[in-house]
Structure 1
Amino acid sequence: MKSLPNKIANRIKRIRQIPIEKSYQKELPANHQAEDVFLVSYPKSGNTWLRFLIANALKVHYQIEREVNFFTVHDIIPSLTFSRNLRYEGPFGRTDLPRIIKSHSAYNPYYQRVIFMVRDPRDVLISYYHYLKSFGAIPDSWTVSELIRDRKFGTEAWNQHTKGWYVSNKEGQNIQLFYYEEFIKNPQANLDRLMDILGIKMTDGELKEAIELSSKENMRKSEEVHRSTYVIKTQETRFVRKGEATGGKSLNEVDKKYLEDATREVAQLIGYNF
C-alpha cells in the first residue's frame, strides 16, 4: 500500500489533533498570554496558602494597602476553577507584573511558566476527602477508604495529574517544582526562591512580614469573616485545616498500605519515599 502524499498526511494529522487542542484550550484563560504564570497543583496540596503568600509578598513589597483575604485573593490571583474570563492586568491590577493564575489542570503544554506545588499524597487525599465532603461533592456515606480507591478523586487521579506535570515537559516550558513540606519547614527560603522566579527581589523583612500575614491563624481569621460567601454544608466546615505534614497518620493500616502501594512509584519519582 502506497503512503499518502505528505500534504494529505499532514492535513489528516492536524485534523486528528484538533480535539486534543480544544481540550487544552478549556484549561486556559480566554485571553491567554505567554507571560502568564500558573500555580498548578492537585487539589489540597497547598495552592491556596501559596496564593496568600504570593499576594501578601506583593502587597508588602509594593506597599499596597489592599487587604489579602479569602474574598480579595480570588481577584488578586484568580482561579480557572471559577472562570476563564480574566482581566488583562497582573495582581493588584498592576501592568508591570504577569498574571498569576491558580489551576488544578492536568498537564497542559500551553502553560509556559508553571509553579508546580506537590504534597505527600497520603496527606493530600485525607485533606481532599474532608474538603469534598464539606461541599457535598461526595456522598455523606463515603469514608476515606472509598475516596482513595475512587478513580475520579483517589490515588489513580493523583498519579495521573502528578506524573503528567513532572514527566511531560514540552520544549520552552518552564516548570518549577516546590514541595509543600519544604514550605512548612522553611517558608522564607522557599518564598524567596519563588519571588525570585517572578523577578522580584524581596528583603528578609518583607519576606517575614508576608509569611506572618499568611499564617494559618490569620488565614483562619479571614475564613471566619468571609464564611457567608462559601457554599458549605455545615458551619463547622473549615477550608483551612491543620495543614500538617503527617504522612497519612490518621489512616488505618489497611488504607495506608493501599495508598502507599498505589502511589509509591510516582511519589518516588518526585522525591517522596515511604
Structure 2
Amino acid sequence: MKNILSFPLNSLNILTLPSRIAKKIKYGRSLHKNHVVEDVFLVSYPKSGNTWLRFLIANALKVHYNVEQDVNLFNILDIIPSIIGDGNLRPEGPFGRTDIPRIIKSHSAYNPYYYRVILLVRDPRDVMISYYYYLKDRKQIDDKLEISEFIRHTKYGINRWTEHTKSWYYNNYGGGGGQIIKIFRYEDFLKDTHLQLSSVMDCFGIKINEKLIDEAIALSSKEKMKDSEKKHSSTNIINEKISFVRKGVASGGQELSDLDIEFIANSATDIARILGYDL
C-alpha cells in the first residue's frame, strides 16, 4: 500500500491473551471485524463537522485521482463508510482504490484499536445547539424538550461531550504504543479551509496541488451539500444520510442563555481551553 497515513506505527503494545480478549470484548461494538492497522478513523462527537470533513476529503481524492464519480449525500457512506460494529467493511479504500487506506467515520469514544485517528473537535456550545436541532428534527428526542434540558440530558448533554473529548485527548498524550491521533478544530476549517484540508491530506501522505485543493473545497461548499440534500431527500436512503446540513457556523453558543453557557463551562472548561475554546 503506497499511501498509508503518514503516522509511524512504532511498536504496538503486546498484551497477554486474556488481556487482548477482554479488550476486544470491551471495544468490539465500535470496531469492524476486518479492521487492519492501516485503517484511518475520522472521529468526532456528533454534529462536530464530520460530514463536511468527509466531503472535503472525498472531493480532494476525487480531483486528485481524476475520478468521474460525484460525491453527494447519497454515496458518501460508500466512499467513506461509517463504523459497523461487529461487521465487515469492504477491503478497498475510497472509490475502490487499493493504494490508499480505508477511511472510516466514527463517533466512538476512545478505542485503542483505532491505530490512526483524525479527531475533529468543535466548540461544545455550538455542538449542543446543532445536536439538539438534529435530534429534534429526527424525532429522537421529545419535541417539547427545551435546549436547556437537552444540555443537561444524561445521554446527549454536555457531560457526554466532555467525556468523549477527554477520552481521546488524554489517551493521545498518554503514550499509546503506536496509536497516533491528529486533532483538528472545526473552526480552523471555517477560517482557512485550504490550509486545514491540505494538512489532513498530508496525513495520508498525499500531496495535492493548490488548484485542486480549491476545486475540492468548491465541490464541498455548504450550498453544494444543501443542494445534494434536497436532491436526495425524496429517495429511499437511510436516515444517516439526510438532515445533516444546517448553518455550520461558529457562533460561540449565541442561542444559549447565560445559565446554559455557565453550565457548559462548568462541565467542559478544562478540556475546552486545552483545545483553544474560551468558555
Distance verdict in 2 for CA 1:83–1:92, change over 3 Å: farther
Query: Contact 1:118–1:178 at 8 Å: present in 2 too?
Result: yes
- Correspondent of 1:257 among 252, 257, 262: 262
- Which position in structure 2 is the counterpart of 1:200? 206
Query: Contact 2:51–2:244 at 8 Å: present in 1 too?
Result: no
Q: Which moved more, 1:88-97 or 1:16-25?
A: 16-25
Q: Percent same amino acid at aligned positions?
A: 54
- Which position in structure 2 is the counterpart of 1:269? 274
Measure how far apart 1:21 and its partner are: 2.6
- Which position in structure 1 is the counterpart of 2:8? none
Secondary structure of the 2:189 match is helix
Distance verdict in 2 for CA 1:231–1:26, change over 3 Å: closer
- Once the two structures are superposed, residues 58-105 of structure 1 have per-residue CA deviations (whole angstroms, 9 ceiling, x without a partner) of 000000000100011110000016883210000000011100000000
- Which position in structure 1 is the counterpart of 2:77? 74
C-alpha distance in 2 between matches for 1:191 and 1:91 = 17
Q: Which moved more, 1:126-135 or 1:18-27?
A: 18-27
Measure how far apart 1:140 and its partner are: 1.2
- Which position in structure 2 is the counterpart of 1:99? 102
- Once the two structures are superposed, residues 230-263 of structure 1 have per-residue CA deviations (whole angstroms, 9 ceiling, x without a partner) of 567xxxx942001000000011222122112221
Matches within 5 A, 1:39-78: 39-78=42-81
Between the two proteins, the alignment pairs up a number of residues equal to: 259
- Which position in structure 2 is the counterpart of 1:241? 246
Q: Does 1:143 align with 2:149?
A: no
C-alpha distance in 1 between matches for 2:263 and 2:118 = 29
**Which runs of 5 or more structure 1 residues have no equivalent in the other structure?**
1-10
Runs of 4+, deviation exceeding 6 Å: none
Q: Does 1:173 align with 2:179?
A: yes
Letter in 2 for 1:254: L
Q: TM-score, normalised by structure 1?
A: 0.90
Q: Does 1:163 align with 2:166?
A: yes
Query: Contact 1:36–1:112 at 8 Å: present in 2 too?
Result: yes
Letter in 2 for 1:36: D
Measure how far apart 1:14 and its partner are: 6.1
Measure how far apart 1:15 and its partner are: 4.7
Distance verdict in 2 for CA 1:48–1:151, change over 3 Å: same
Secondary structure of the 2:184 match is strand
Query: Contact 2:43–2:108 at 8 Å: present in 1 too?
Result: yes
Q: Does 1:134 align with 2:137?
A: yes
Query: Contact 1:155–1:263 at 8 Å: present in 2 too?
Result: yes
- Which position in structure 2 is the counterpart of 1:110? 113
Measure how far apart 1:179 and its partner are: 0.4
Distance verdict in 2 for CA 1:175–1:67, change over 3 Å: same
Secondary structure of the 1:175 match is strand
Letter in 2 for 1:79: S
Distance verdict in 2 for CA 1:83–1:52, change over 3 Å: farther
Q: Which moved more, 1:28-37 or 1:55-64?
A: 28-37
CA-atom RMSD in angstroms: 1.9
- Which position in structure 1 is the counterpart of 2:88? 85
Q: TM-score, normalised by structure 2?
A: 0.88
Query: Contact 2:28–2:85 at 8 Å: present in 1 too?
Result: no
Secondary structure of the 2:30 match is coil
Secondary structure of the 1:161 match is helix
Report the structure number with the largest CA radius of gyration. Answer: 1
